[in-house]
Structure 1
Amino acid sequence: MKQIGRRYRWLVPIFLMASLPAWSATEVEGLDFKHGIAFFHELKYSADFTHLDYVNPDAPKGGPLVLPTQTSFNTLSPGNSQSLTAPGLNWTLDTLLIRAGDEVTGFYGRLADGIAITEDEMAIVFRIHPDAQWHDGVPVTPADVAFSLEYRLEQVEGNVWYGFVKEVEQIDERHVAIHLNTPLTLNNIIILQFMTVMPAHYWSVRDPSKVSLEPPVGSGPYRVSAVSQGRYVDYERVPDYWGRDIPVNKGRYNFDHIRYEVYRDSTVTREALRKGLIDIWTEQDVRYWHNSFDTPATEKGWLKKIRRSFGIEIGIRRALAFNNRLDRFKDRRVRQALTLALDFEWQNRTLHFSNRTRANSYFPDTILEATGLPSEDEVALLEPFRDQLPPELFTEPFRFTEVESPAHHRANMEKARALLIDAGWEIQDGVLKNADGEAFEMTFLSQNPEDSRILLPYFEQLDQLGIKANIRLAESSQYINR
């Protein structure tokens, strides 16, 4: 709630001009393009930086890297969101921007060597790097950016991710403008920095939405060298990659060959790691982290256990998300009751070796996290909506209730029952129903069978409230479509 209604201005100095439907070459020349942009703070790296601080610019290059993936694949097409795209394919394509790994909201040019924003923040202009080229030697142009963005806007999910885009304008041979429906936000930039640019000259005579195992033309540090559907995909480093020496890439992409191998089962994947068939495994289950890797190989230093820091990645790592489009979840009292029913502390002790930390914000441990009570400026912004907001927002700092004992959890369950009754739900013959006699049921959609271990204890608590809950496992394509 801390940032409601606030318009953030760029802290990086940027030449500003009125937003126009089209620019002439003279007007573009008048723009003061910058090497990066930032929200909330100054850019860490100046225009003349040579490399990111957290990489070794002189890192040796060579050798193979074998990585596991538990998601099968059936296509090498980067434009088919309804199919299973091969893992690692993003390494074959460049993006306009890259987010620095040691800044919360610092973005620097990659395909773009300059960025400018209009005074009303209704358009952003990218200047394409003069050396950028595709693997077949064709230069990257604004036409490629326009093709990539317009193609995505035509897809089913286009308006979900790119609904902020009004139109794309090719200004000249190096400049492209993205006109917006609303003033530019951090979320817009985050989405744009994930958008890989596709070669228009290649895909204009092919259908990016079709399933295909033909290695596509890219512009990135790697290209596909071999593929076997659903088994593995190999990538080779492009020795003459156009961007190998630009500052955001210096010291990165050092392996000559990278292979992704498909392992459907976590137990099999762990065994493959112990046998040396794969090089890295990210363990998501804390039980196995504690119990499965104390082997002779670990004692000899052949196998190393490293706790990963997520750096400046913003957001909670795992969460139960309510679909607020469903009527029963639109009532805040219902959502609060469901939250009270979850005994996080018990789950953390019993299931996670007390390794989990509960997030009290969508942006924990960053400058974006709301802490304490609203400031005077924030209260001024919130005041017009006071009658629509919970009163405690103005008097109590938000934190989830910590369950200190079984008695404490029983008290939480009583509060949950009272909230549900207040919201119009009552238990009839052990089933929670509304005034129309509709039973309260919940279905949790998941891709991971191991989620059952976490959810089943929660389902027992929901059952005490008269709520019938179940988990539905879905393959990746089904999960996306749902």
Structure 2
Amino acid sequence: MPLTRRSLLKLAGLAPSAKLIGIQLAHAEDRQFQHALTLFSDVKYGPDFKHFDYVNPLAPKIGRVRFGIIGSFDNLNPYTYKGETAGAASNDTLTSSSLDEPATKYGLVAESMWHPQDRSLVVYRLRPEARFHDGVAMTPDDVIWSLEALRAAHPFYNAYYKNIARAEQTGEREVTFTFSEAGNRELPSITGDLPVLPKHWWTGTDAKGKPRNIQETSLEVPLASGSYKAVEVKPGVSFKLKRVPDYWGRDLPVNVGTDNFDEIEYVYFRDANVAFEAFKGDQYDWQLEIKLQGVGHAV
């Protein structure tokens, strides 16, 4: 008689139904999902925290700020190494860092996460309310596609995520990343830095019917999911962002009190002297000065 799963269970003295289910449920209950990841023994903010201590949760959402940039840009796709890229679009990551504690990540797109003691894998559960700017929900399929597409598009991502051996959907809103090695304390946290890209947009076509390619430069503003959206782009000259009033994550504890400007504009200059004169002429509001060997340099 061939040894089927039922016969093996009988040989082991186990009932093939209830007891097996009980084992599976116990295994699932051993996974204690958390709201944060850290390299240390504890995190500063508990699961019910309202906002980070360093923000003003009552800060008004108003005004604009203009930044002066020395340089130019010919690309709006931030996920390829080709071209000079402008940050006209951003996609939310699985987790978000706090600025007042080291090496700690709190859930952003992910509502909770878990890894075993040996850190051989990490599991993320996505928030059901997470959306791209077109209203389409983020899914495990988007997460898995993002990992594969980013590793193919840019050497940085290929190196940064080289120890992720496999990504797979393991629940309705759950993604499991299995690592090529165990015992690396940083791998779960590194995985949380993954931006979640809209697969449906990147695998679609542009206004001219041309298929999009994440590995190539483009002056089409990519579909994003963050708190700001590009509303005006002048290639090589400037781009303007506006705060998304119905941004899906605006009330999350990691976002409360942040992103308070209604409008952000980046103005580009090819010459530092011209940029400084523009600054004095009120063409932008903020300029970073770095002093090196007694000489000031605008950035």
TM-score class normalised by the smaller sequence: 0.7 to 0.9
Q: Which residue of 2 aligns with 1:235?
A: 241
Q: Which residue of 2 aligns with 1:279?
A: 285
Question: 1:43 is aligned with what amino acid?
Answer: V
User: Contact 1:25/1:172 (CA < 8 Å) preserved in 2?
Assistant: no
1:190 to partner: Cα distance = 5.5
User: Contact 2:115/2:188 (CA < 8 Å) preserved in 1?
Assistant: no
Structure 2 residue matching 1:150: 3-state secondary structure: helix
1:230 to partner: Cα distance = 0.9
User: Contact 2:88/2:229 (CA < 8 Å) preserved in 1?
Assistant: no
In 1, the alpha carbon distance for the partners of 2:121 and 2:53 equals 31
Matches within 5 A, 1:469-480: none
More helix by share: 1
In 1, the alpha carbon distance for the partners of 2:189 and 2:120 equals 16
In 1, the alpha carbon distance for the partners of 2:289 and 2:135 equals 40
Matches within 5 A, 1:116-195: 116-155=114-153, 157=155, 158-183=157-182, 185=184, 187-189=186-188, 191-195=190-194
Q: 1:194 to 1:229 in 2, by over 3 A?
A: farther
1:106 to partner: Cα distance = 1.4
1:184 to partner: Cα distance = 5.7
Q: 1:207 to 1:120 in 2, by over 3 A?
A: same
Q: 1:27 to 1:75 in 2, by over 3 A?
A: farther
Q: Per-residue displacement from partner, 1:393-451 (whole Å, max 9, x unpaired)?
A: xxxxxxxxxxxxxxxxxxxxxxxxxxxxxxxxxxxxxxxxxxxxxxxxxxxxxxx9x9x
Q: Per-residue displacement from partner, 1:164-223 (whole Å, max 9, x unpaired)?
A: 110111112210011111236454356434432110111122211222222222111011
In 1, the alpha carbon distance for the partners of 2:37 and 2:61 equals 31
User: Contact 2:153/2:215 (CA < 8 Å) preserved in 1?
Assistant: no
Q: Which residue of 2 aligns with 1:204?
A: 203
Do structure 1's residue 248 and structure 2's residue 254 form an aligned pair? yes
In 2, the alpha carbon distance for the partners of 1:270 and 1:227 equals 22
Structure 2 residue matching 1:171: 3-state secondary structure: strand
Q: CA RMSD in A?
A: 2.3
Q: Per-residue displacement from partner, 1:260-280 (whole Å, max 9, x unpaired)?
A: 111223333333222222111
In 1, the alpha carbon distance for the partners of 2:223 and 2:288 equals 30
Matches within 5 A, 1:407-426: none
In 1, the alpha carbon distance for the partners of 2:236 and 2:183 equals 40
Question: 1:46 is aligned with what amino acid?
Answer: G
Structure 1 residue matching 2:80: 3-state secondary structure: coil
In 2, the alpha carbon distance for the partners of 1:109 and 1:220 equals 14
Q: 1:51 to 1:172 in 2, by over 3 A?
A: same
User: Contact 1:99/1:193 (CA < 8 Å) preserved in 2?
Assistant: no
Structure 2 residue matching 1:218: 3-state secondary structure: coil
Unaligned runs of 5+ in 2: 1-23, 205-211
In 2, the alpha carbon distance for the partners of 1:141 and 1:25 equals 25
1:25 to partner: Cα distance = 9.5
Q: Which residue of 1 aligns with 2:20?
A: none
User: Contact 1:73/1:87 (CA < 8 Å) preserved in 2?
Assistant: no
TM-score (norm 2): 0.82
The sequence identity of aligned pairs, in percent, is 36
Question: 1:260 is aligned with what amino acid?
Answer: Y
Question: 2:66 is aligned with what amino acid?
Answer: V
User: Contact 2:37/2:189 (CA < 8 Å) preserved in 1?
Assistant: no
Matches within 5 A, 1:402-441: none
Q: Which residue of 1 aligns with 2:6?
A: none
User: Contact 2:68/2:266 (CA < 8 Å) preserved in 1?
Assistant: yes
Unaligned runs of 5+ in 1: 1-23, 287-350, 354-447, 451-482
1:82 to partner: Cα distance = 2.1
Do structure 1's residue 40 and structure 2's residue 52 form an aligned pair? no
In 1, the alpha carbon distance for the partners of 2:142 and 2:71 equals 29
More strand by share: 2
